[in-house]
Structure 1
Amino acid sequence: MTPFDDTSGSHRPPPPPDPWAQVGLALNLLAIDPKGLRGLWLRGRAGPVRDCVLGALAPLAPRKLHPFMPEDALSGGLDLSATLALNSLQRHVGLLSRDGFLTLTMAERCPAGLAVRLGQALDARPGLALIALDEAAEDGEGLPQPLADRLALFLDIDGFGWSDSADLQLDAPRIAAAKARLAAIPLSPDALEQLTRVAHGLAIDSLRAPWLALMAARAHAAWRGGQALAEGDLRVGVELVLAQRARALPHDAPPDETPPPPEPPENDPEEGRDRDSTEPQIPDDLLIDAAFAALPPGLLARLQAAKAARAAAGNSGAGAVRKSISRGRPIPSRPGKPGSGARVDVIATLRQAAPWQPMRRAARPDAPDGRLLLMPDDIRIKRYRDRTDRVLIFVVDASGSAAVARLAEAKGAVEIMLAEAYSARDHVALVTFRGDTAELALPPTRSLVQAKRRLAGLPGGGATPLAGAMQVAFDAALQARGRGMSPTLAFLTDGRGNIALDGTANRAQAGEDAMTLARAIAARAIPALVIDTSLRPKPQLSELAATMNATRIVLPRADARAMAATLGAALGS
């Protein structure tokens, strides 16, 4: 990329940057100032293009870590083999205790605890930098906020085909010269103030963003051989740092009526002086335009979805997290006894026993040489964290009071939810009620074809056996929980139950039966949602939802997509 040139004395709209050239520029800037930029967020799936980028970063010798790396590997701990060999306590240094580059694979799966841990390490060790490889396959996924806020550079390479790419290589001599020049380039308070205004115009709420953009601008000034910041440097900082953090289009601003500066005289004695010695004067709106010109199509919407997903992470809607001794992701071992399916963590057991060997051998001089002396308290048991499958049990009112049109919309909502649930590996079940019976019309399934076939043949009309439907849904939830799943009930009804559990047409008894089942659902802590589809909501359904500890939403005229969107938001899917 050529240095910015403003010899005309006027400000022109920035041309769209060459996307692949921006990739190479970002890698060189990272190598120039890893301390200031802190790292790179690289979004793209594994493939030849990403291998090309990572190959260019190979001279930086990054050390790899994965999202589920144990704490002792990060912070250091007991060196088991050295301790046993030397018969004295030996420790090893963790990845976060040394300066240099780290590469975090599968960064979109990084747990919140590790993200905070890495963020603290980046703040505490100026010589540490992170390359986060984001392989997100779905909209809403992405880098955890504690890391996204700290890494200056962002590159999205998913849109590049192999034919769009070219060989990338760090320019080592030019990087060395830029490093030597970097500290002498002053950080302009005016430039920082302008970048802060631009960040505000892009609806960026991070206070780190303008500073990181200034660091990128300074690194670019050193890269092009300048002695001070120029307008082109600020544009590069905006394109590489602020663009990916943008959360909204800028508001329309009134035209700038400030008169242009007077033309310098023809024989200006300052004409030969380096233009870098003056402060850059570039309108804010041009920097904002540069930010949006640097964004690939659709990226702003994806980044906004990722931020919304991170904000809702506490209500992810996924299955319940449980600890297990047989399956799931490993978590730190705990003291215990083998048996009943529990497995001994051999490494953790040896690590616990190693520091005590000198003391134990002194207490037992008759012990055979070379034998490791273990005690029952040394035994550590493997543990895992497993996330159960979720099943959404839809309870749909197909009675005459619900009307055929509303039943059709409910069918459409179930189909939409099932299609969306497939990517999250959720199951969907369907309970319908009409006449004097309720039935499990669709057992828990992930098959969209089977669901459509069952839904297409559902009739409508007749009485409203709401209590019977609650009984069937309650039994289905208990069966699902017994199979290790996390059930959630979603009722779509107007709440006018008139058939009791014994099949008689008794509205009062039907109401009492429904309240009894609502209390049973609440006692078992089964999550529930009630969508009131009646044109005039009645207090009975509100009381039923409160007894069930369920969320009640009134949707008298919702179509299938609005109903599915409401269900998805309420259930966190």
Structure 2
Amino acid sequence: MSDVRYPFTAVVGMADLRLGLLLNAVSPAVGGVLVRGEKGTAKSTMVRALAGLLPSIATVDGCRFACDPAAPDPQCPDGAHAGAPASERPARLVELPVGVSEDRIVGSLDLERALAEGVKAYEPGLLARAHRGVLYIDEVNLLQDHVVDLLLDAAAMGRSYVEREGVSVRHAARFLLVGTMNPEEGELRPQLLDRFGLTVEIAATREPAERAEVVRRRLGYDADPAAFAARFAADERALAARITAARELLAKVELTDTALRQITAVCAAFEVDGLRADIVMARTAVALAAWAGRTEVLAEDVRKAAQLALPHRRRRNPFDAPGLDEEQLDRVLEEHAQSEPEPEPQPEPATAEGSQDDPEPDPDGGPDGPDGGGPQDGGPDGGGGGGAPEPSGPDGPPLEADPAAGEDAAPQPVPAQHPSPARESAPVAAGDPYRTRLFAVNGTGRGAQGRRSPAETDGGHTVRARRPRGRLARLHLSATLRAAAPHQVARGRSSRALVLHKDDFREQVRQGRESNLVLFVVDASGSMAARQRMTAVKGAVLSLLMDAYQRRDKIGMITFRGASAELALPPTSSVEVGAARLESLPTGGRTPLAAGLLRAHEVLRVERLRDPDRRPLLVVVTDGRATGGGRDAVARSHRAAGLLAAQGVASVVLDCECGPVRLGLAGALAARLRATAVTLDELRADGVASLVRENRPMSPAMRKAA
């Protein structure tokens, strides 16, 4: 690969991304930029190219923390730098790998010197290396949450604090933070989104001419990187000079009272949480004015700052897409554009004549309203007059069943034109989500860090030490020293350095929590099609999806109805897609329960091959009926459940049966799956049933049903 970077000015389009990166280059106090976009949209290319535009920095020779000789850090671990020689070098671009550990980020004890020389020495991490440069996090949404928290804390404070393994170190860590992510692979939590100063949404252009130019330039770069870069060298120098000039102008920009009032009014109008958005908008507006060569913030700067700083702070739940109402933004800016707020006009009292002469139509009870005496569908002449409408006859509106009667109530008359329950029903909206009980996989896993099931993880707390299994990853220092100490005399130790053998090393075993693959198997048959019932069921599944989002799980969804089962959502980290598929889920037809369970078995088998460390949690949402697949449908579904149980798949059955008469079919299925069975009412974390432990033993009734 060539060492010549792709020029920043050679990227086609991407105006918002270009501006967001340049504003952070002018004022790193803005707080970084999060770039959200589909794959293959030059996110990484632009970030890497930005580092080449930053001015060179002067550093103290030999300082591992890039101290500025003009203003050295008084707490620099490498000591005082007064009068030390200095030199210039380009600003660094430090890239953070997805699997990075906390030790690699903040630094740790230099184990080699500690063991060989018997001294404590601090080995700097990536935060120290990124000081006064660019820290680039590709696929930031795939990083573990505690790592992202650590990075954003350092970016906000401009300093890294290290307290570990007997080492106490503080050093400056001011850098331009850039994160990129593909929303299809999962979202960041709203708390983490809020810590990024700006966000930019990008997508590949759909214009053939622009796409052709992108391809043409990329091919030219691949053929001769040096010659291609030379074509844009003048543009690169001009842009770098403009960044330097804007930095120098930044301190002279005035944020007027009018601009500040517009900023705070916009943040209040859009109901963003906290005050971080106000501060970020103010810093961004000042940087925009400096970038434009002005010394005063204008309304256009405030508007653009809002477009960059607020969309990702508008999310009220994990399934909301970032966005901003442009009309509302313009309205708020216009209302607060005056230097002094104008008094609000007092409303004039309504006159008696005005209230009588021009009556407004009443949509609920007026002469032509639905409850009035207007024409009715059922009567031959409309039923005139203002009296009550005639009872509907065979040709009138269809009779509706009493929703409180339950599914086992006597069937109600249905007109011939009304679709039968066996046919497909239109999708219904989900009920409001709520906090659910925690369902976890038994035992201790070794999957990716998350917040659901117990596991051995890179994070968490150290519970014990053991001999390394393969390559030593996390040294348990005290256990290693204890293992080596009894043998020092026999090994002829003659200095402060310990004499270590390979058998002395011990590694840490850390206990934390892992994320799981939560696979939903949802019954979408006619027996689930009652409108209020399906609303409650979808609300329950939506709540479980939100719980999976918060616990950093992957999710998948299988639906079954009619004659087959469908993989509606292949396993993914994008819970938003799962919510969208759930919302549009139709119902109707027979209940091929066995097909749904067998499809789940196949999906889990494939996922086990792809990611053997990620343990699955199966959530079956059903009333337990099995009417598809012939007379032995129930037996087939029980055999399929036994197949999953034999594989040791942790399962939960969400019993959706309702009505005064319950058949207990979902309980029997849970027994076959060796699963936890909960009703819709028991699913809520704040319910009385939440006092019962998950994975409770099967009741005698369940054992009998099995």
Instruction: State the SS of the aligned residue for 1:137.
Output: helix
Structure 1 CA distance, aligned partners of 2:264 and 2:528? 60
Counterpart amino acid of residue 37 in structure 2: G
Instruction: State the SS of the aligned residue for 2:119.
Output: coil
Kindly indicate whether the alpha-carbon contact (under 8 Å) linking 2:277 and 2:309 is maintained by their aligned counterparts in 1. yes
Equivalent of residue 19 in structure 2, options 17, 25, 44: 25
Kindly indicate whether the alpha-carbon contact (under 8 Å) linking 1:104 and 1:133 is maintained by their aligned counterparts in 2. yes
Q: What are the residue-to-residue correspondences of 1:328-339 with 2, within 5 Å?
A: 331-332=458-459, 335-337=464-466
C-alpha distance 388-220 of structure 1, shift in aligned 2 (>3 A): closer
Counterpart amino acid of residue 110 in structure 1: L
Structure 2 match to 1:40? 33
Tell me how large the CA RMSD over aligned residues is. 5.7
C-alpha distance 56-462 of structure 1, shift in aligned 2 (>3 A): closer
Tell me which moved more, 200-209 or 357-366.
357-366
Structure 2 match to 1:525? 676
Q: What are the residue-to-residue correspondences of 1:19-168 with 2, within 5 Å?
A: 20-34=14-28, 36-47=29-40, 49-59=42-52, 60-97=91-128, 99-100=131-132, 101-125=134-158, 127-137=174-184, 141-160=186-205, 162-163=211-212
Deviation (angstroms), 1:102: 1.6
Structure 2 match to 1:443? 597
C-alpha distance 150-492 of structure 1, shift in aligned 2 (>3 A): closer
Structure 1 CA distance, aligned partners of 2:667 and 2:433? 33
Structure 1 CA distance, aligned partners of 2:105 and 2:594? 50
Kindly indicate whether the alpha-carbon contact (under 8 Å) linking 2:95 and 2:137 is maintained by their aligned counterparts in 1. yes
Equivalent of residue 305 in structure 2, options 217, 231, 237: 237
C-alpha distance 323-27 of structure 1, shift in aligned 2 (>3 A): same
Counterpart amino acid of residue 525 in structure 1: T
Structure 2 CA distance, aligned partners of 1:473 and 1:546? 31
Q: What are the residue-to-residue correspondences of 1:173-572 with 2, within 5 Å?
A: 173-246=241-314, 249=325, 320=441, 323-324=444-445, 331-332=458-459, 335-337=464-466, 343-344=469-470, 346-349=472-475, 366-367=492-493, 371-373=499-501, 378-380=506-508, 387-393=515-521, 411-412=560-561, 418-423=567-572, 440-445=594-599, 479-491=643-655, 493=657, 525-526=676-677, 529=680
How high is the sequence identity, in percent, across the aligned residues?
A: 20
Structure 2 CA distance, aligned partners of 1:316 and 1:163? 52
Structure 2 CA distance, aligned partners of 1:472 and 1:390? 24
Structure 2 CA distance, aligned partners of 1:350 and 1:367? 22
Structure 1 CA distance, aligned partners of 2:181 and 2:302? 26
What is the TM-score of this pair, normalised by structure 2? 0.48
Structure 2 CA distance, aligned partners of 1:231 and 1:131? 27
C-alpha distance 143-280 of structure 1, shift in aligned 2 (>3 A): farther
Please list the CA deviations of residues 348-395 of structure 1 after superposition, one character each: whole Å capped at 9, or x if unmatched. Answer: 347557778997786556259995157768344588975444444556
Counterpart amino acid of residue 650 in structure 2: S
Instruction: State the SS of the aligned residue for 1:440.
Output: helix
Please list the CA deviations of residues 440-479 of structure 1 after superposition, one character each: whole Å capped at 9, or x if unmatched. Answer: 344332579xxxxxxxxx867999x9xx96x987886575
Instruction: State the SS of the aligned residue for 1:420.
Output: strand
Structure 1 CA distance, aligned partners of 2:292 and 2:528? 75
Please list the CA deviations of residues 272-315 of structure 1 after superposition, one character each: whole Å capped at 9, or x if unmatched. Answer: xxxxxxx799xxxxxxxxxxxxxxxxxxxxxxxxxxxxx98986
Deviation (angstroms), 1:235: 2.8
Instruction: State the SS of the aligned residue for 2:95.
Output: strand
Structure 2 CA distance, aligned partners of 1:337 and 1:352? 12
Kindly indicate whether the alpha-carbon contact (under 8 Å) linking 2:269 and 2:332 is maintained by their aligned counterparts in 1. no
C-alpha distance 208-351 of structure 1, shift in aligned 2 (>3 A): same
Structure 1 CA distance, aligned partners of 2:573 and 2:266? 37
C-alpha distance 132-460 of structure 1, shift in aligned 2 (>3 A): closer
Structure 2 CA distance, aligned partners of 1:116 and 1:314? 24
Structure 1 CA distance, aligned partners of 2:599 and 2:691? 29
Q: How many residues align?
A: 430
Kindly indicate whether the alpha-carbon contact (under 8 Å) linking 1:328 and 1:387 is maintained by their aligned counterparts in 2. yes
C-alpha distance 396-124 of structure 1, shift in aligned 2 (>3 A): closer
Deviation (angstroms), 1:77: 0.8
Tell me which moved more, 81-90 or 188-197.
81-90
Structure 1 match to 2:606? none
Structure 2 CA distance, aligned partners of 1:82 and 1:134? 38
Deviation (angstroms), 1:178: 1.5
Deviation (angstroms), 1:33: 0.5
Counterpart amino acid of residue 55 in structure 1: R
C-alpha distance 228-324 of structure 1, shift in aligned 2 (>3 A): same
Counterpart amino acid of residue 187 in structure 1: L
Kindly indicate whether the alpha-carbon contact (under 8 Å) linking 1:152 and 1:212 is maintained by their aligned counterparts in 2. yes
Please list the CA deviations of residues 163-192 of structure 1 after superposition, one character each: whole Å capped at 9, or x if unmatched. Answer: 476879582222112112212223334322
Structure 2 CA distance, aligned partners of 1:358 and 1:159? 59
Kindly indicate whether the alpha-carbon contact (under 8 Å) linking 1:344 and 1:382 is maintained by their aligned counterparts in 2. no
Gaps of 5+ in 2: 1-11, 53-90, 160-173, 218-231, 315-322, 342-431, 450-456, 539-558, 579-588, 604-625, 683-687, 696-706
C-alpha distance 73-25 of structure 1, shift in aligned 2 (>3 A): same
Kindly indicate whether the alpha-carbon contact (under 8 Å) linking 2:17 and 2:200 is maintained by their aligned counterparts in 1. yes
Structure 1 CA distance, aligned partners of 2:334 and 2:26? 40
Kindly indicate whether the alpha-carbon contact (under 8 Å) linking 1:75 and 1:96 is maintained by their aligned counterparts in 2. yes
Instruction: State the SS of the aligned residue for 2:676.
Output: coil
C-alpha distance 461-113 of structure 1, shift in aligned 2 (>3 A): closer
C-alpha distance 387-253 of structure 1, shift in aligned 2 (>3 A): closer
Counterpart amino acid of residue 139 in structure 2: M
Instruction: State the SS of the aligned residue for 1:348.
Output: coil
Kindly indicate which of the two structures has a greater share of residues assigned to helix.
Answer: 1
Structure 2 match to 1:13? none
C-alpha distance 331-474 of structure 1, shift in aligned 2 (>3 A): farther
Structure 1 match to 2:613? none
C-alpha distance 149-516 of structure 1, shift in aligned 2 (>3 A): closer
Structure 1 CA distance, aligned partners of 2:574 and 2:195? 32
Structure 1 match to 2:357? none
Kindly indicate whether the alpha-carbon contact (under 8 Å) linking 1:324 and 1:384 is maintained by their aligned counterparts in 2. no
Counterpart amino acid of residue 20 in structure 1: M
Deviation (angstroms), 1:194: 1.0
Structure 2 CA distance, aligned partners of 1:118 and 1:398? 50
Structure 2 CA distance, aligned partners of 1:416 and 1:355? 58
Kindly indicate whether the alpha-carbon contact (under 8 Å) linking 1:514 and 1:544 is maintained by their aligned counterparts in 2. no
Structure 2 CA distance, aligned partners of 1:460 and 1:494? 21
Deviation (angstroms), 1:38: 1.2
Gaps of 5+ in 1: 1-17, 262-278, 282-310, 428-433, 449-457, 498-509, 532-542, 551-573
Structure 2 CA distance, aligned partners of 1:254 and 1:130? 32
Kindly indicate whether the alpha-carbon contact (under 8 Å) linking 2:267 and 2:277 is maintained by their aligned counterparts in 1. yes
Counterpart amino acid of residue 94 in structure 1: G
What is the TM-score of this pair, normalised by structure 1? 0.58
